[in-house]
Amino acid sequence: MVGSLNKFRRLLPGLILALLAILPALSLAQNNTPARNSREAAIEHARNIENSSDEFEMVLIHGLGANATEWDDVLPFLKNTFRVRVFELAGHGLTKPIADDTITKEVARLGEFIAAQGFNYPTLVGHGMGGMIAMQYALDHPAAVHRLIVMDSTPIQLASAEEKAAVGEQLITDYDMFVASRYLQFSQDETIADRAVDMALRTDSATFVSLLMSSFDYDLTDRLNTLSVPLLVIGSEMMFPADQSSRHLLEHYGFGHARSLSFKRMAKTGHLMMLEQPIMTSSVLLAFGVTADYNFDN
């Protein structure tokens, strides 16, 4: 059991850090996306309501296989301090797919989204693959980002070629079952785990495959020493177990080259921290989004 958990942690960063080497036989022909319901449409309409604060701006970016509703439980706590918007990846939730999606394309879409909102200097918050996208954007546009917060995310794709190939073979055998089995591990709360699976299986499968494939060459570690934007890494207990050194794991996950870094470990949480502990998550985002001088634990 310990060996299995350790292997899963190696795969988690960046969103199951690589669910796999998707082989050509899987192809981009699959599409497992059910119709959206009216509740999701109502949420989408309410998500971008103007907030009372014009001073601070924040953009929330969900992870691979999730969607914008991942942030619904934290939004009420942020809206009186920030003008906050949720950026949804192509092919996820209510957002249409684009051809051959990649992390680089999502970074470009994020820039267009920020401009469309009229934001000038937002704090970026990225979860899983959303953190990868936020990190690349901040490195490419350091003068346009106020703060950078990444949650259960890494600056490098960590899975080995052997791990990717093994997972790819399982995906070909039964795509739905394999994805569901991995996302069920994101939380010990059965309701939240079921929600994670539902979001993943609603994601456009071609997009899911394409984004994962684009992550195989993702490596920002050598650029982190040039990052001038204040950086906060938030880690779940799943990624940062209590019996291990957080600083050692930060090095292992690729953050050793960061010019400066703050860290917050969220105890008793799985990968979906914002759903398991929305109040604590919101308080951390508020504290760092307003000032980088906040004292976080190690």
- Please give the pLDDT value at position 170: 75
Convert the pLDDT of each residue in 109-126 to its tens digit. Answer: 999 999 999 999 999 999
151 three-class SS: strand
- Please give the pLDDT value at position 217: 85
Where is pLDDT greater, at 81 or 294? 81
Q: Is the pLDDT of residue 1 over 90?
A: no
Q: What share of the chain in percent tops pLDDT 90?
A: 63
Amino acid at 276: E
Homologous superfamily of 2-20+34-290: Alpha/Beta hydrolase fold, catalytic domain (3.40.50.1820)
Count CB neighbours of 261 within 10 A.
Answer: 16
- In angstroms, the CA 33 to CA 52 distance is 36
Where is pLDDT greater, at 154 or 205? 154
265 three-class SS: strand
For residues 266 and 279, is the Cβ–Cβ distance under 8 A? no
Amino acid at 6: N
Convert the pLDDT of each residue in 210-257 to its tens digit. Answer: 898 888 889 999 999 999 999 999 999 999 987 567 888 999 999 999
| pTM > 0.75 | yes
- Please give the pLDDT value at position 213: 81
* Band of pLDDT at residue 33, cut at 50, 70 and 90: very low
For residues 59 and 123, is the Cβ–Cβ distance under 8 A? yes
- In angstroms, the CA 131 to CA 43 distance is 23
Average pLDDT over residues 131-149: 97
Convert the pLDDT of each residue in 48-61 to its tens digit. Answer: 434 445 679 999 99
- In angstroms, the CA 258 to CA 59 distance is 22
Please report, for the chain, the start and end positions of each structural domain, with discontinuous segments joined by +. 2-20+34-290
Which has the closest alpha carbon to 107: 202, 11, 200, 218? 218
Convert the pLDDT of each residue in 158-172 to its tens digit. Answer: 878 888 777 767 767
Mean pLDDT of the chain: 82
Q: Is the pLDDT of residue 45 over 80?
A: no
- In angstroms, the CA 235 to CA 286 distance is 16
Which of 200-209, 210-219, 272-281, 287-296 has the highest average model confidence (pLDDT)? Answer: 272-281
- In angstroms, the CA 268 to CA 240 distance is 10
For residues 183 and 200, is the Cβ–Cβ distance under 8 A? yes
For residues 277 and 245, is the Cβ–Cβ distance under 8 A? no
